[in-house]
Amino acid sequence: MSSSRYKVRVTKDFLVFSSGHFITFEGNQCERVHGHNYRTAVEVDGDLDGNHYVVDFIALRDMTRTICDELDHRMLLPAGSPYIRLEDDGPNIVARYRDRYWSFPRDECVVLPIANTTAELLAKYIADRLLVAMRARGWADPRAVRVEVEECFGQSAEVELTL
């Protein structure tokens, strides 16, 4: 007897965010500030519910759009970096790396609970937020949530939350 496994996938031309960032790497390197037009794709694996669908992908689309819109046209800053210090400076947030520092108006930044603004950890952040949003709607946990974040054409990272 064969068994069936289902997933829904959502990727739309508005599930994007144009944001600034910089990453640290190799423990002693920090990029210059730059930006990307990030694109996201979301997949949810699970059993069919009483509607005979995994989840309503319109609702999933809208949940994802809410998160993308929060990140759009913002400077993405990591709150959990061991290398980059974030400081309040009145209406601004100052980011410091060794003898370099950047000052951004607070409402033009998003401080994220991640260690580095890599595509991988942005995908993880979005996946975690989506799971919270699904649970807030009373949805049963799916089997898995996957989020892909593409930094630019041909460069992306994906996370899978297995539940």
Task: Give the sign of the dihedral formed by CA 151, CA 19, CA 40, CA 153.
Answer: negative
Residue nearest to ligand LPXRUNBV (CB): 118
- 10, 23, 84, 112: which one contacts ligand LPXRUNBV (CB under 6 A)? 23
Strands of 92-97's sheet in order across:
85-89, 92-97, 100-105
Decide if residue 33 touches ligand LPXRUNBV (CB under 6 A).
Answer: no
SS3 129: helix
Decide if residue 87 touches ligand LPXRUNBV (CB under 6 A).
Answer: no
Q: Looking at 59-67, 69-77, 79-87, 114-122, which segment touches ligand LPXRUNBV (CB under 6 A)?
A: 114-122
Query: What angle do the packed helices 57-71 and 119-136 form, to 10 degrees?
Result: 130
Decide if residue 120 touches ligand LPXRUNBV (CB under 6 A).
Answer: yes
In a 13 Å sphere around the CA of 155, the CA atoms on its Cβ side amount to 7
Decide if residue 152 touches ligand LPXRUNBV (CB under 6 A).
Answer: yes
- For residue 140, give Cα distances in angstroms to 103, 134, 146, 153, 160: 42, 8, 16, 34, 17
Decide if residue 81 touches ligand LPXRUNBV (CB under 6 A).
Answer: no
Residues 132-151 that bind ligand LPXRUNBV (CB under 6 A): 151
Decide if residue 158 touches ligand LPXRUNBV (CB under 6 A).
Answer: no
Shortest distance, position 114 Cβ to ligand LPXRUNBV, whole Å: 11
The token pair at 31 is: 């990029």
Shortest distance, position 2 Cβ to ligand LPXRUNBV, whole Å: 37
- The binding site for ligand LPXRUNBV (CB under 6 A) comprises 23, 31, 118-120, 151-152, 155, 157
